[in-house]
A and B are shown apart, each in its own frame.
Chain A
Amino acid sequence: MGDGKALDIAAVVLPIVGGGLIGLASAMMLLLHGRITGISGIIYGVLIGPREGWRVMFLLGLLAGGAMMFQWRPSNFAMASSGGVVVVAGLLVGLGTRIGSGCTSGHGVCGVGRLSPRSMVATLVFTAVGMVVASLSQEFGGGA
């Protein structure tokens, strides 16, 4: 099917292009401000401190970009779970990213991009644990 093939190409190209934009935005923060773009750290700063203006503006920019994308491609925004598991997962993500000093952006994109061994280890650990948990929850929970 021609449609099926076009879909497959989009499934690979859009992640690369979208990833490139994420890398470009992170590079902007680095070249202009000398900062690593770690979303969990930026949110934590606004929540607990230091509550600097650039953090607030970055988070507002995220919402603006998200709103534009949601208008254009609402199907790209989807949740797979609801209820108690969402609360547990949110707590774990909030706590874990602070204990481990970073998430998919700070350790994953920027840290791996800097070839930081510390970030590469963190990225391997959260990806491996994420894969085990997601695979097991599908196996035993019948999928969320």
Chain B
Amino acid sequence: MSLRHELWTSALAGFLFATGLGLSGMTNAHRILGFLRVGENWDPTMAMVIVGAVGVFAPIYQIYRRRHHRPVFGNANHVPSSTDINGKLILGAALFGLGWGLVGLCPGPAWVSLVSLHPSAILFVIAMFGGMGLYGWFISISKPNSSS
């Protein structure tokens, strides 16, 4: 595979992804909290984001599957094969939901919101890096024999 193709198409996909985030309202924490705050003034419209995204992605995934998992560039398939529904998955998802519900930011919109130079966006991303670093550190001390 050509590395050059892999790089520019990844940048283009990132560009499209961020355009979608910005257009849909995902970068507006008030909209996210309006969706997560179920009650009298519940705003369910943000559920349409996942409807639109899955509506486009799911049929294309089926085509990909019928082609026996072979991408255009290269022949390696990196789609996760794990099917385990375990405590780690539930715990992680719950912690993520806790953070998401507190301020209305998930990783993609948080990263994209850096362009606004809003202090809260910068603070959130730094703290998110910290949380990821904590996990990386935990993994590294729990596997003392594997060094990279």
Residues of A within 8 A of B (CB): 11-12, 14-37, 39-40, 43-44, 47-49, 53-55, 57-70, 72-82, 85-101, 103-105, 107-110, 112-118, 121-123, 125-135, 137-138, 144
Task: Classify the secondary structure of B's interface with A.
Answer: helix
Contact across chains for A65 and B83 when beta carbons are under 8 A apart: no
Chain A residue with minimal CB distance to B39? Answer: A135
How many residues on chain B are close to A (CB under 8 Å)? 113
Q: Which residues of B contact A125 (CB under 8 A)?
A: 90, 93-94, 97
Top 7 closest pairs, chain A to chain B, by CB: A100-B92, A94-B131, A61-B14, A18-B24, A19-B52, A90-B127, A69-B22
Counting CB contacts under 8 A, is B141 at the interface? Answer: no
Q: Are B115 and A80 in contact (CB under 8 A)?
A: no
A61 B134 Cβ-Cβ under 8 A: no
Per a CB cutoff under 8 Å, which of A69, A133, A144 touches B27? A69
Closest residue of A by beta carbon distance from B132: A94
Q: How far is the CA of A2 from the CA of B58 in the complex (A)?
A: 36
B residues within 8 A CB of A104?
100, 106-108
Asked whether A101 and B53 contact (CB < 8 A) given A11-B45, A58-B14, the answer is no
Closest B residue to A137 by beta carbon equals: B102
List the B residue with the shortest CB-CB distance to A74: B116
Which A residues are CB-close (under 8 A) to B97?
96, 125-130, 133
Q: Give the shortest distance, in Å, between B85 (CB) and chain A (any CB).
A: 5
Kindly list chain A residues whose C-beta atoms are within 8 Å of the C-beta of B96: 92-93, 96-97, 100, 103, 126, 129
Assembly CA distance A67 to B25 (angstroms): 15
Q: How far is the CB of B64 from chain A (nearest CB, A)?
A: 6
Q: Is B144 located at the chain interface by the 8 A CB criterion?
A: no
Q: Is the interface of A mostly helix, strand, loop or mixed?
A: helix
Known contacts A99-B135, A133-B98; A76/B110 CB under 8 A: no
Q: Given that A15-B52, A44-B132, A93-B100 are contacting pairs, would A99 and B61 also be in contact in the complex, using a CB cutoff of 8 Å?
A: no
Known: A118-B82, A138-B39. 11 other contacts (CB 8 A): A17-B20, A27-B61, A60-B11, A64-B14, A64-B18, A68-B22, A69-B22, A70-B22, A89-B105, A91-B130, A104-B108
Which B76-103 residues sit within 8 Å CB-CB of chain A? 76-80, 82-85, 88-103
